[in-house]
Amino acid sequence: MAKGRMINRTIATDSKVNSLDINDQWLYMRMLPFMDDYGRLTGKLFELKYQVIPSSKWTEDKIRDTLVKIESAGLIYF
């Protein structure tokens, strides 16, 4: 398994990413380093929150709604 991931600068001009609200982009980019070699993360919202954004006050409902938006942009399958 990779020890880390780098985000390519092209993410700044990616049309799918830029179709999202800035907060939705933030969550998406926070998720990237935690993905496994196949691009997967847990589907359990409680675990996802405390892995990716532990200091955030986002609720599981807000995370779910954001993931649905990210999925609608074609960036993930949720």
Report how far apart, in Å, the C-alpha atoms of 28 and of each of 21, 39 are: 11, 12
CA 27 to chain centre: 4
Q: What is the pLDDT confidence band of residue 7, given thresholds at 50, 70 and 90?
A: confident
Query: How many residues are there in the chain?
Result: 78
Other Cβ atoms within 10 Å of 42 Cβ, number: 13
Residues 63 and 24: their CA atoms lie apart, in Å, by 9
3-state secondary structure of 20: coil
Q: Which residues contact 30 (CB under 8 A, 6 or more apart)?
A: 52, 53
Q: What is the pLDDT confidence band of residue 2, given thresholds at 50, 70 and 90?
A: low
Give the pLDDT of residue 59.
96
